[in-house]
Structure 1
Amino acid sequence: MDLLLASDESRVLIIYTGGTIGMLVGEHGYVPEPYFLTETLHSQARFHDPLQDSLFSHSGSVEGFRQWSSSGRTSPSNADSTPSPVATRLPPAVDPAHIPPRSAMTAHFPQVTAQPRSIKISDDVYESRMPALITPPSVVHGGIGKRIRYAVLEWNPLMDSSNIEIDDWIRIATEIEMNYTLFDAFVILHGTDTMAYTSSALSFLLEDLGKTVIVTGAQIPLSQLRNDAVDNLLSALIIAGHYIIPECCLFFNHTLFRGNRVSKSSSMDFNAFTSPNFPPLVNVGIDIVVNWNDVIRQKNLRRFTAHKTALRLFPGITVATVQAFLAPPVRGVVLETFGAGNAPHRKDLMSALCEACERGVVIVAITQCAKGSVSDAYATGRKLLSVGVVPGGDMTPECALTKLSYLLSKTELSTEQVRSLLGAPLRGELTRSPRAAPAYATDVNLETISDTLSHVVRLTARTRHATPAIVVSDVQGESSDAGAPWAWTAAEAATAQSALLSWLVHLSAATNDVGALSHCLSAEADELGEDHHTIAGGILNWINPASGRSPLHVAAMNGSAQCVHALLEAGSLVHLRDSLGHTALYYAARQGHDEIVSTLVSTGANLSGADLEGFAPLAVKMALLREDSAALKIWEKAGIPTPDSSNPRKAGS
């Protein structure tokens, strides 16, 4: 049976740190067992079906099932895929048992399915070749079936989440950084007890993130017949493989949360985590519904990096020991206050807090309540702010602790800068102050739609000598230029505005019209209607069904350097692939746009998917035959090394 091309695949790295999800029943309860999880996934058709010959891959229709049933095959399939290795030059391997704990590893797909073997390449860094597992095709929203090729990078030894330390957070961040260009997304398997701390910490340690990172686990392990492990892991894999949500998230019980917004609320229920002050990013039911309006839109002007330093802090503070906690060498504490930010109005307590703040200790106040925010509505709350305590808004305790640790570890920041950043949303961990609701009066919508129509007509008719004026009349039809009254509701006007913006942003990108692009961005920022929020990633990342490309693809192909920069700054996804599996970097390199290639590479873009399925290598070969040194330099800058650019004829022979 023909396999789907790699352009119809997503590559996901699973970092398995430990936790209940992969445990077995031992003499004293659940215990971790090395490689059990990987072997279990390999044997289950829903997680691994390389030849698409299992019952699961033939149950989409009656005809498919009957054909499979009459063939005499059994499920699951024991056949394995033989993917091309990501790296072909590997020294002799050593046993992974020799890898010390908390050592970071890079992951590569091998051509065998034996247990992984690893080699040391530098201090605390090992390279491992792991089995490639591949899921059956999965369809979301009626789209084309996509398969997810993934590998499981298992820690040795596996850890109970209660033993997770700051060094382990840094290890996870480092492993994501070292494997960032090899995979499209990352899933972290983790115990539930400290999962909220880990997801909060990673949201800050993973700076300028442009790919999906999901932390998940289970209340009942995969080894048990009745469990939540299958649903949590499979759903996390499907979301990571189908959507680019550039955040560190936490998935549990059919829900994807922002990672720094959650707390564990139950040890007895499958619904173990809550996000009281922020809505879920994804709801998984009959359909997978992504709330794109709440997904962070990164300003993609810098390459992804992992911040690999964190400060050790105490997780709490009590009134009885306040002076001891504030004494040197403590640099920061999280103060859990009553209600909306209140504390006992005692002179000695306020004096101790004031003295510590003046000495440079950073104190952030959060509420003990599960839902709500710190405010200055009460006199006792204002008193805390007056002595120098920083209001933590609606941050969770896990988030406040990890954010404070992250900021204090940045030695380049002054105490005042740390205090200022604590009160500002860096990764969506704080709810912004509510803005005034946008006006939806019909006359305002008509005015903005007239402006948008003028831009559309100007760009589609820019080769003509004259551009016709577009004027939309109001409900009474007072404008004679419109031809006929255009009567609608405010909601209908907003819907039309949103549809026009989606078209206009592509025209702007194609023609390098920054003015029209700015109009699109400002109109979307004004929230003119809700329909454009249903577009994946907003209008900036909308894949036009006519071309199959996003605005960034269009700008890169057409050499629109100014629009490329503006799109990246506004939040276009640099790793997004078009309907053919190509990235914007591929089109920029193919068209010879050196400046755009430099811009994209500087923001972390890399060739992947269909780019590497012969297209880019073929372009390099043709450039060698033409002795086109300029094209060769561009492809090399994009990440395709030339065999011998100094002797094109020899290299192309």
Structure 2
Amino acid sequence: MFLFKTFMKKDEMDNFAKVLVLYTGGTIGMKKKNGTYVPAPNEFGNALRNDPTLDDKEFIDAYFGDVKDQPYCLPSHHETKKRIVYWLNEYDPLLDSSDIKLDDWIKIAKDIEKYYNDFDGFVVLHGTDTLAYTASALSFLIDNLSKPVVVSGAQIAIVEEDSDGHDNLIGALLVAGSCNVPEVTVYFDGKLLRANRCVKLDSISTGAFVSPNVDPLAVMDKVIKVNEKEEFKQPENKELSVTDKLCENVTILYMYPFIQTQMVETALQEPVEGVVIKSYGAGNLPSNREDIMDAIKKAVNRGCIVVNTSQCVKGHVHTNYETGKMIHDAGVIFGADMTTETAFVKLSYILGRDDWDLEMKKRMMTKSLKGEVDEREEEEKENEDSAEINEEDKMEQYKPV
């Protein structure tokens, strides 16, 4: 597919930053038909070719004129050390992000692995509805990254005059081709976010994605300014690897007033192996509902991993309230400041790890594998629990016989 190895000298290619764009689908490449947006196979590449801000045609003709499937190149006015040349790999069929499946996540990860040694960075274009899930999944599926993988998309198709897709694509390409951010990220509306920390907050605004509990990794201000203190450091000198197994038997249980017992029991029964509970506020459930607690305990006792996250966009869950402590004592894992999307995907990933036993899987849910959770909160909780146990031991020593 990519022919630059066969006709260009190595010293020539060293002058370029090579980026592979995996166009999986989504609004960014759609066109309007009968008043609604529809997928438009092979149209996205034409739109790029006809936009001089996205493709320097003279440069491409000069260096790649004899190639049938020419790459694209960002104009030279972008302040980068190397010219960013990018190749487009359009998926067939194009995926509607609301139809995304586990196999699609694995395919994207495998495609990055397949072409990893040929490119300096990768951009994944994706529909916005499930973009946060896919970006988070890629962060867990791909180990030992030493190159940027940037997920992006658009709220408005790139063929429209007011499209945000234009700036999002340029920003994603600049990160992938010129920034040393060796992790999976999301670029949207001038901000670079950690993939497993972002959520879709707005269904209309071009500022659709936010990272509620951590600062952006970088912001675009004429040039990209990287916040190095927020970067996740991958293990050095290790070969890239991709996991190809995820567990489908995970679900999300949204808590609401007067939820019926049967609803809770159904979400927690076999074959479900993992459940993410979206609880109230700081991690609370009804204190007077023994039926809910019984269903949770039953699931935990049979080996189901239950994780508690908040319905709030910002903040974290903790055991400061009695109702929160009650479910923690029942064996529910507190997700700290993880987003629900990330907790769900991480649970699928961890349950797919056949090399870990149940206790290891539970322990890893509380650990930061890819910068997705603030481990300090869990450590503080463990210290508090340890202090309480020690205090109880002391009291036991002084009890009258």
Q: Does TM, scored on the shorter chain, surpass 0.5?
A: yes
- Find out whether 1:34 has 2:16 as its counterpart: no
The aligned residue for residue 352 of structure 2 is 409
- Find out whether 1:288 has 2:224 as its counterpart: yes
Which secondary structure does the structure 1 equivalent of 2:324 belong to? helix
Give the letter for the 2:317 counterpart: V
Which secondary structure does the structure 2 equivalent of 1:425 belong to? coil
The aligned residue for residue 311 of structure 1 is 247
- Find out whether 1:159 has 2:102 as its counterpart: no
Write the distance in 2 (CA, Å) between the matches of 1:80 and 1:193: 39
How do 1:192-207 residues align onto structure 2 when only pairs under 5 Å count? 192-207=128-143
The aligned residue for residue 375 of structure 1 is 318
The aligned residue for residue 397 of structure 2 is none
User: How many residues matched?
Assistant: 362
Question: Is the alpha carbon distance of 1:167 and 1:28 closer, same or farther for their aligned partners in structure 2, counting shifts above 3 Å?
Answer: farther
Question: Is the alpha carbon distance of 1:434 and 1:382 closer, same or farther for their aligned partners in structure 2, counting shifts above 3 Å?
Answer: closer
Write the distance in 2 (CA, Å) between the matches of 1:156 and 1:301: 35
Write the distance in 2 (CA, Å) between the matches of 1:344 and 1:409: 32
The aligned residue for residue 136 of structure 1 is 75
Cα offset for 1:334? 0.4
Aligned-pair identity in percent equals 38
Write the distance in 2 (CA, Å) between the matches of 1:231 and 1:215: 13
The aligned residue for residue 335 of structure 1 is 277
**Structure 1 residue corresponding to 2:64, chosen from 45, 70, 82:** 82
- Find out whether 1:12 has 2:6 as its counterpart: no
- Structure 1 runs, 4 residues or longer, greater than 3 Å off: 78-81
**Per-residue deviation, residues 376-411 of structure 1 (Å, max 9, x unmatched):** 111111111111000101111110100000000111
- Find out whether 1:347 has 2:290 as its counterpart: yes
Question: Is the alpha carbon distance of 1:204 and 1:388 closer, same or farther for their aligned partners in structure 2, counting shifts above 3 Å?
Answer: same
How do 1:199-348 residues align onto structure 2 when only pairs under 5 Å count? 199-318=135-254, 319-320=259-260, 321-345=263-287, 346-348=289-291
**Structure 2 residue corresponding to 1:361, chosen from 299, 304, 317:** 304
Which secondary structure does the structure 1 equivalent of 2:172 belong to? helix
Give the letter for the 2:33 counterpart: G
The aligned residue for residue 43 of structure 1 is 50
**Per-residue deviation, residues 554-603 of structure 1 (Å, max 9, x unmatched):** xxxxxxxxxxxxxxxxxxxxxxxxxxxxxxxxxxxxxxxxxxxxxxxxxx
**Per-residue deviation, residues 602-647 of structure 1 (Å, max 9, x unmatched):** xxxxxxxxxxxxxxxxxxxxxxxxxxxxxxxxxxxxxxxxxxxxxx
Task: Indicate conservation of the 8 Å contact 1:81/1:132, yes or no.
Answer: no
Give the letter for the 2:358 counterpart: T
Give the letter for the 1:292 counterpart: E
**Per-residue deviation, residues 344-377 of structure 1 (Å, max 9, x unmatched):** 1222221221121111000000011111001111
Question: Is the alpha carbon distance of 1:225 and 1:80 closer, same or farther for their aligned partners in structure 2, counting shifts above 3 Å?
Answer: farther
How do 1:474-489 residues align onto structure 2 when only pairs under 5 Å count? none
**Per-residue deviation, residues 140-193 of structure 1 (Å, max 9, x unmatched):** 4xx64x211111000111111111111110110010010110111100010111
Q: Which has the higher contact order (CA 8 A, sep 6+)?
A: 2
Cα offset for 1:25? 0.9
Task: Indicate conservation of the 8 Å contact 2:21/2:124, yes or no.
Answer: yes
- Find out whether 1:384 has 2:323 as its counterpart: no
The aligned residue for residue 387 of structure 2 is none
**Per-residue deviation, residues 253-305 of structure 1 (Å, max 9, x unmatched):** 00010001111111111110111101100110233210011101112242111
Unaligned runs of 5+ in 1: 53-77, 84-110, 114-129, 436-653
Write the distance in 1 (CA, Å) between the matches of 2:182 and 2:327: 36
CA RMSD of aligned residues (A): 2.0
Write the distance in 2 (CA, Å) between the matches of 1:156 and 1:131: 19
Which secondary structure does the structure 1 equivalent of 2:49 belong to? helix
Give the letter for the 2:67 counterpart: V
Write the distance in 2 (CA, Å) between the matches of 1:297 and 1:244: 11
Unaligned runs of 5+ in 2: 1-10, 379-401
Return the index of the structure with the highest Cα Rg. 1
